[in-house]
Amino acid sequence: LFAAQKGAVLIDALAFKSSKFLQQAAKLTLGMYMEASSEQNIHSILLGFFTADAVSRKSLALEKRKLEESKASCFCHKRSLD
């Protein structure tokens, strides 16, 4: 994650269930995080959104999602770090 930030690499994530780690990784690297509602719309999501470069994404009508919690958490133990 830190190497991606330093190298200006966008991390995109498509999840079938909510993942705070992937949400944070996408947000911190200015990438995209989306949740698929079913397996049937995966192709349209991948082709429509994830193939666009960083400049083209600005013109797409993307839903802005706000993270509920941006606290650091332990990846192994799934506990919040204070």
- The pLDDT value given to residue 10: 85
What's the whole-number mean pLDDT along residues 74-80? 69
What's the whole-number mean pLDDT along residues 13-40? 86
- The pLDDT value given to residue 8: 82
With a cut of 80, say whether residue 59 has pLDDT above it.
no
Mean pLDDT of the chain: 77
| Assessment of whether the complete model's pTM goes beyond 0.75 | no
Q: Where are the beta strands (DSSP E) in the chain?
A: 13-15, 33-35
- Residue type present at position 76: C
- The pLDDT value given to residue 65: 53
Separation CA 45–CA 51 (nearest Å): 9
